[in-house]
Structure 1
Amino acid sequence: MYLRGVHAESHIPALLQLIRENPLGILTTAIKSPQYPLIQASHIPFVLDVPETADGTLSNGILRGHLAKQNPQAKVLMEAAAARKEQGHDTLELLDEVLILFNGPHHHYVTPKFYVETKPDSGKVVPTWNYSAVEVYGKVKVYCNSQSDETSSFLQRQIGDLTQQSESLIMGYTGGDRPSPWEVGDAPARYVEILKKNIIGIEIKIDRLGGKFKMSQELGKGDREGVINGFENLGTEAGEGIAKMVGERGQLKDSHNRE
C-alpha cells in the first residue's frame, strides 16, 4: 500500500477497530499450484481475536474465517496443506504469507469544486478519491481435515463466534428491547455437521498491518472545510460519513501540528 505520511495510520488499536467494524475482508493468496491460478482472492467475513502477549500488552491479533471447499482458493490452500504434510511437517501453517484487505465503511470521489480556497485562487486542483483501508499480512493455518477433532472444534467455534458477532454487532439483535439473535444451535445439529464438512477453516496470526485514512488531510483548513460542506450537502449516507471522517482526521492533523 502506498502511504503518504499525512494519510498513514500506524496506531494498532485504530487499525483493529476498523477491522472489527468492517469485518468483510478480501483474502488474497499467491500460492503455486499445478491446477489453479497463482493469485486468488475471496471476500470473507472474519472474526478478530486480540489476545494479550506474555508481557501483558495486546498482540496484533489473530483472524479467523472459513471458505467453501468448492472455492478454488480453498482448493489451493488444501493442496498446499497436503503438500506440507507429505513433506513431513507436523503443522497446519503454510509457508506462504497471505494478505487480507479491509475497507472502511465509506469511500467517495472528491470533486475539485469542493476546494473553495485553492480553486478560485490558482485553479491548480485535480479530482481524487477519499477512502480508508487496512492491510493485514501473516501466515495462514488451514483446518481442512473433516475427520479431525481439531478441525471440527475450530469450525464449530468459528461459525458460532461469527454468527454471534454478525447478529449482535451488525444486526443489533441483542435481545431485550431488541430482537433476539439467531444462533447456530437454532439449526438442526445434523444439518450443521453436514455443512461443516463442506468448509475449511483458516486462521491468520497477524505479523504486520498498516492503514491508510485518505481523508483530505493534505489540504489546507479552508479547502478541508469546503470538502466537509460539499459532502454534507450531498444529503447521502456516504456523504455524511465522509464529511465526518474528513473533520475527524483534519482535527488529528491540526492537533499533531500544534504539538
Structure 2
Amino acid sequence: MYVPPAFKNDDVESIRATIHAARLANLVTATADGPIATPLPLFLDENECEHGVLYGHIARANPQWRLPPVGDGLAIFMGPEAYVTPSWYATKQQTGKVVPTWNYVAVHAYGPVEFFQESERLRDVVTRLTNKHERPRANPWVVADAPADYIAAQLRGIVGVRIPVARFEGKRKMSQNRTEVDRVGVMAGLAASEDPQDREVATLIQPAGASRRP
C-alpha cells in the first residue's frame, strides 16, 4: 500500500480498532496461477503471537485454499471512507486549483496463510465469528440454536483460515495535506451529509497540529 508520511498510521491500538470494527475483509494470496482474492469476515485474536492471529473461513468449493500461496497473504480492512468534493475547499474560491479526493482509513495485514479442516477448530472459528457479529443484537443467535447435525454438515462445506500477522500497514487519509481552512470546510461539508459514514469521517478530521485521535 502506498502510504505518504502524512497519512501513515503506526498506532497499534488504532490499527487493531480498525480491524475489530471491519465487518468484511478481503483475503488476497499470490499463487502460481496468479493472484486470487476472497471477501470474508475475519477476527483478530490478540492473544496469539506478537501482532495477533487472524481467523476466518472460506467455502470448500473456493479454489483459493487449494492453490499454495506464494509468500505471505494479505488481508485488507477498510474503515470509514468518504468522497471529498473540491467545493468544500476555501482554496477553490481563492485559486480554483483543487480536485476531488477521497478520505479513508485502511489497514493491510500480512502473514503466512494456513488453511485447516479439523471440525472442532472450524466450530470454534464459526462460533467466535458468530458471537462477534451477533453480540450487539437484542436477541443474539448462537450456533447452538441450530441442530447439531445441521451444523456438522455446514462445517464440512468450509475450510478454516489462520494468518499469524507478521506486520501491519496502516493508512489514515483525513485531509492532513490540506490547509486549516480547507480542513474546516471538509469537516463542515461531511458533517452536514445525510450519509452516516460521511458524518463519521467528519469526526476523524483534525485541525493542523492536533494530536492523532485513537
Quote the residue 2:172 is aligned against.
213
What's the CA shift string for 1:148-176, capped at 9, x where partnerless? xxx122101101111100101xxx12xxx
- SS of 1:209's partner is strand
- SS of 1:41's partner is strand
Give 1:52 shift: 6.5
Work out which of the residue numbers 138, 149, 169 in structure 1 matches 2:111: 138
Work out which of the residue numbers 87, 94, 97 in structure 2 matches 1:121: 94
**1:38-187 alignment, distance < 5 Å:** 38-51=34-47, 59-76=50-67, 80=68, 96-104=71-79, 106-116=80-90, 118-144=91-117, 151-168=118-135, 172-173=136-137, 179-187=138-146
What's the CA shift string for 1:111-167, capped at 9, x where partnerless? 111112x222222211111111000000011103xxxxxx12210110111110010
Quote the residue 2:202 is aligned against.
243
CA contact (8 A) 2:122 2:160 kept: yes
What's the CA shift string for 1:27-61, capped at 9, x where partnerless? 001112xxxx42110111012100176xxxxx211
In structure 2, C-alpha distance between the alignment counterparts of 1:256 and 1:156, rounded to whole Å: 42
Q: TM-score, normalised by structure 2?
A: 0.93
Quote the residue 1:11 is aligned against.
11
In structure 2, C-alpha distance between the alignment counterparts of 1:136 and 1:156, rounded to whole Å: 24
Q: Which one-letter code corresponds to 2:192 in the other structure?
A: N
Identity of aligned residues (%): 34
Q: Select the structure that is richer in helix.
A: 1
Give 1:233 shift: 2.2
Q: Which one-letter code corresponds to 1:166 in the other structure?
A: H
- SS of 1:204's partner is strand
In structure 1, C-alpha distance between the alignment counterparts of 2:116 and 2:170, rounded to whole Å: 28
Give 1:241 shift: 1.4
Gaps of 5+ in 2: none
Q: Which one-letter code corresponds to 2:105 in the other structure?
A: S
- SS of 2:209's partner is helix
Gaps of 5+ in 1: 54-58, 81-93, 145-150, 174-178
Q: Which one-letter code corresponds to 1:62 in the other structure?
A: V
Give 1:237 shift: 1.2
Q: Which one-letter code corresponds to 2:21 in the other structure?
A: E
What's the CA shift string for 1:197-232, capped at 9, x where partnerless? 111101000000011111111111111000011112
Q: Which one-letter code corresponds to 2:88 in the other structure?
A: F
Give 1:256 shift: 4.8
In structure 1, C-alpha distance between the alignment counterparts of 2:24 and 2:51, rounded to whole Å: 18
Give 1:180 shift: 2.6
Give 1:95 shift: 6.1
CA 1:95–1:75 in structure 2 vs 1: closer, same or farther (change >3 Å)?
closer
CA contact (8 A) 2:86 2:99 kept: yes
**Runs of 4+ in structure 1 displaced over 4 angstroms?**
none
Larger Rg: 1
Quote the residue 1:31 is aligned against.
31
